[in-house]
Amino acid sequence: MEFTEMMHAYIAAKYCVYLEERFGDRGKAAFLHATRHYAQQRGRRMAQRAIRDGQPLTYETYCRYGEWVNTETAKACGLANSSKVVSLSPDYEVHVFVCPWHAQFKAMGLAEEGLLYCSDLDASICRGFNPELEYRTLQTLHDHDHCVQTVTASGLEPGMDLKRRPENLRSFEYHCAHSYFAYKECVEAIFGSEGAEIAAAVLKDFAADYGKDMADTLYSYKNTNFNAI
């Protein structure tokens, strides 16, 4: 079994459920805070690679330095991302019609939690990469028939090669571990021992649904520094 986008969404969803159940609105605020923390760490890694390679922190570079592509599992399930670019400039706008993160939240009956996650995730990744870029998610699949994302004054032009570079990609094993530990770090910082109990419950649920070996692999990243490349 490979780690997938759906498992990645599952981890975030479980944290959100446990935080809401135990802490109500404070839990939702903690979840959003942790999501932003996770996403900005991703964006900063992208920026580190770009600076290392002498690339400007433009939206074009942001596109090329993304860390993931859809897994074969998501493709086989018909859940790989499907989108249409409706404008390149002056503002970039893309409409997303199929998304494995949306599919996972929906399968778990967590549309509200998915909306909270998706409404800020990509904007936070972009802020981590370069806070001067204005990335916005105007609507999501959780409450509309498609997602709308925009970048103001994107600088994109027809013919630009925006494909993600293979050397910058990370597996969903890595991304799932990063997600688990980013949320763990935040909920324990905010709620102490109660946050640690939530992190343990999420890992237990992951083991129950995906197997102990997968959970052990996830936890093997416990000493990884996700801030740095």
Would you give the end-to-end CA distance of the chain in angstroms? 26
Nearest-angstrom CA–CA distance, 61 and 46: 9
pLDDT of residue 19: 98
Cα separations in angstroms, 201 against 13, 14, 18, 19, 197: 12, 9, 8, 11, 6
In the chain, where are the structural domains located?
5-219
Supply the DSSP symbol for 164.
Answer: P
Are the C-beta atoms of 113 and 17 separated by less than 8 Å?
Answer: yes
Give me the pLDDT at residue 91, please.
97
Residue reference for tokens 């399930």: 77
Query: How many Å apart are CA 77 and CA 80, to the nearest integer?
Result: 8
**Residue in the structure block whose two tokens are 């605020």:** 29
Block residue for tokens 């740095």: 228
On the CB side of 212, CA atoms within 13 Å amount to 0
pLDDT given for residue 128 in this prediction: 98
Please report the pLDDT score of residue 40 as a whole number.
Answer: 98
131 preceded by cis ω (within 30°)?
no
Instruction: Look at residue 212 and give its three-state secondary structure.
Output: helix
Per-residue pLDDT of the chain in tens (229 residues, 90 and over written 9):
899 999 999 999 999 999 999 999 999 999 999 999 999 999 999 999 999 999 999 999 999 999 999 999 999 999 999 999 999 999 999 999 999 999 999 999 999 999 999 999 999 999 999 999 999 999 999 999 999 999 999 999 999 999 999 999 999 999 999 999 999 999 999 999 999 999 999 999 999 999 999 999 999 999 999 999 9
Q: Whole-model pTM above 0.75?
A: yes
Number of residues that make up the chain? 229
Question: What pLDDT sits at residue 164?
Answer: 96
Residue 160 CA to residue 166 CA, distance in Å, equals 17
Q: Are the beta carbons of 22 and 198 closer than 8 angstroms?
A: yes
Q: What is the pLDDT of residue 29?
A: 98
Q: Say what the pLDDT of residue 50 is.
A: 98
CA distances from 125 to 58, 72, 135, 154, 211 (A): 13, 24, 9, 16, 30
* Cα 144 to Cα 42: distance, rounded to the nearest angstrom: 27
